[in-house]
Chains A and B, each alone.
Chain A
Amino acid sequence: DTEVTQTPKHLVMGMTNKKSLKCEQHMGHRAMYWYKQKAKKPPELMFVYSYEKLSINESVPSRFSPECPNSSLLNLHLHALQPEDSALYLCASSQVFSGRNPRRGQPQHFGDGTRLSIL
């Protein structure tokens, strides 16, 4: 069992639907991430939140809208998706180093993802 919980595990939606993916962690991590993973490929970073503020948007289309309501929760709102958006969506979290360099490497801990299929 992972310490990062993602819901739902599977989601099938039409291109006109609006849905949300949810992620929760209780490890006290202050950095949270969304990744997209296609079959047999490595995860691709989409967004990074640090202290509940968006730090990185990797040029993701606006049909994906992230939200970090508090330090434990991360949402990804989906609207008007395309068939090519079908993928595994992974959430991860990590500590933020409190020393001089907040970007000092820390392990990212992943959830098991939401398998998204766009009809």
Chain B
Amino acid sequence: GESVGLHLPTLSVQEGDNSIINCAYSNSASDYFIWYKQESGKGPQFIIDIRSNMDKRQGQRVTVLLNKTVKHLSLQIAATQPGDSAVYFCAEKHPDDYKLSFGAGTTVTVRA
């Protein structure tokens, strides 16, 4: 599968391979994390979330991993499909705040 150890703005993936999108978050006190997918011309679409009392959560074809020691969040997409091409944003939330703080985003392009 395709993976990157550090956050990169773009990721090119072969159709059918697994993708890993990485995100470094900034606030060690953040207790809620969320991944969004944004396709061209649309708003961000909720994919999966995780709270700080967990280190892994699985959804349909997606898995989110949280490493609080190094403040790292990742999104794994299994068997990447052309419809997965989009910009992916991670976001974190501090427990005392309503605000989501978004990462810079990773553009995923799926090669046929």
Which residues of A approach B to under 8 Å, CB–CB?
2, 4, 6, 31, 40-43, 45, 48, 50, 55-56, 58, 90, 92, 101, 103-105, 107-113
Contact = CB atoms under 8 A, between A and B. Distances in A.
Interface stretch (B13-21, B73-81, B98-106): B98-106
Contacts of B31: 105
Nearest to A105: B32
Interface string B62-96: 00000000000000000000000001010001011
Given A55-B98, A105-B49, A105-B95, 10 more contacts: A42-B103, A43-B89, A90-B43, A90-B44, A101-B95, A103-B95, A107-B46, A108-B100, A109-B46, A110-B45
Nearest to A115: B41
B32 A104 contact: yes
Choose among A42, A56, A103, A105 the residue with the greatest number of B CB atoms under 10 Å from its CB.
A105
Nearest to A88: B43
A2 B37 CA distance: 13
A104 B30 CA distance: 11
A2 B45 CA distance: 8
A77 B20 CA distance: 40
A50 B97 CA distance: 12
Interface in B15-29: none
Contacts of A107: 34, 46, 49
Choose among B46, B97, B100 the residue with the greatest number of A CB atoms under 10 Å from its CB.
B100
A114 B87 CA distance: 18
Interface string B34-64: 1010000111111001010000000000000
A112 B49 contact: no
Nearest to B105: A42
Given A42-B89, A42-B104, A104-B32, A110 B43 contact: yes
B25 to A, nearest CB: 13
Contacts of A45: 99-100
Nearest to A49: B98
A113 B96 CA distance: 27
14 contacts: A31-B98, A40-B87, A42-B89, A42-B104, A58-B99, A90-B43, A103-B96, A105-B49, A105-B95, A108-B46, A110-B36, A110-B43, A112-B42, A113-B43
